[in-house]
Amino acid sequence: MSTPMNKPGASGPASHGRWNAGWYARARRVDSPNHGHRPQGAAIDLVVVHSISLPPGEHGTGDIERLFTNTLDFDAHPYFQTLRGMEVSSHFVIARDGTLTQFVDCDRRAWHAGRSYFRGRSNCNDDSIGIELEGLEGGDFTAAQYAALMALCRDIAARYPIRFIAGHEHVAPGRKHDPGAGFDWKKIRNNLCDLGWWFPLDH
C-alpha cells in the first residue's frame, strides 16, 4: 500500500506530528530570506536532489548555511568570489552525518534549481522541493545521508503529491551536473519504489 499523498496543509494521520504547515518537525530550522510565493495552482510534485560543499570538497564549515542566509563572507575564500551577489536557497540540506536543516517552508518557492526544465515544464522552482546533500559533485555520499534523505522523502510524500524525483543535472542538463555519478539512484529507487514515483533510472 503506497503512502497517502495529501494536499499542502493536510493534517491527516500520515503527516501528524511531522509537519507544522510547511515546516518539517524533524529538521533543525534556519530561516533563509531567499524564497517567494509559488504560482497559484502549482502542483508540488517534484523533488530535486542537489549536492553542495563550500569551499568545494570541504565539509562542516558552516558556509552553506551562511550562503543560504546571505551572510557569507565572499572574501574568506577565493572560490566565494564566484558566488558574490547570488541569492540562493534550498528547502533542505543534509549534512555528512545525516543532520537535517530546513531553510524554506515547503509551501513556498525556494531558489535552488535556477533555469530548468523537466517533463514539459520550465522553472522547476515553482513546483519542486529542493534537497541539498553536503558533498562534492560526482563524489560519494554517506550512509547517514542516504538514510536521512529516504526518511525525508517518505515524509514529504505524506504531505505533498510528489510524482517525480530527479537530480539537478536532470532538470538543468548541460548547465548543472549534481549530484553526479557518485549518487546511488538505484539505492533510492529500491527503497522508495512503493511510492510510485518516477526515478531517473526509469528513462
- Domain harbouring 78, CATH code: 3.40.80.10
Provide the number of structural domains found in the chain: 1
Distance between CA 163 and CA 154 in Å, rounded?
A: 12
Tell me if 80 is assigned to some domain. yes
Tell me if 9 is assigned to some domain. no
Instruction: Dump pLDDT digits (tens) for 32-90.
Output: 999 999 999 999 999 999 999 999 999 999 999 999 999 999 999 999 999 999 999 99
Q: Is 44 exposed, middle or buried (0-12, 13-18, 19+ CB in 10 A)?
A: buried
> Average pLDDT for residues 161-165, to the nearest whole number?
98
Q: Is 94 exposed, middle or buried (0-12, 13-18, 19+ CB in 10 A)?
A: buried
Q: What is the band of 17 on the pLDDT scale with cuts at 50, 70, 90?
A: confident
3-state helix, strand, coil in the chain (%, to 5): 25, 20, 55
Tell me if 4 is assigned to some domain. no
Contact 93, 101 (CB under 8 A): yes
Output the pTM of the full model.
0.91
**Which residues have C-beta within 8 Å of that of residue 187, sequence separation ≥ 6?**
146
Residues with catalytic annotation? 132
Among 14-18, 41-45, 106-110, 148-152, the least confident range: 14-18
Tell me if 123 is assigned to some domain. yes
pLDDT at 6 over 80: no
What residues make up the domain containing 197? 19-202
Contact 94, 148 (CB under 8 A): yes
Tell me if 26 is assigned to some domain. yes
Tell me if 40 is assigned to some domain. yes
Q: What is the mean pLDDT of the chain?
A: 92
Instruction: Dump pLDDT digits (tens) for 128-160.
Output: 999 999 999 999 999 999 999 999 999 999 999
Distance between CA 203 and CA 198 in Å, rounded?
A: 9
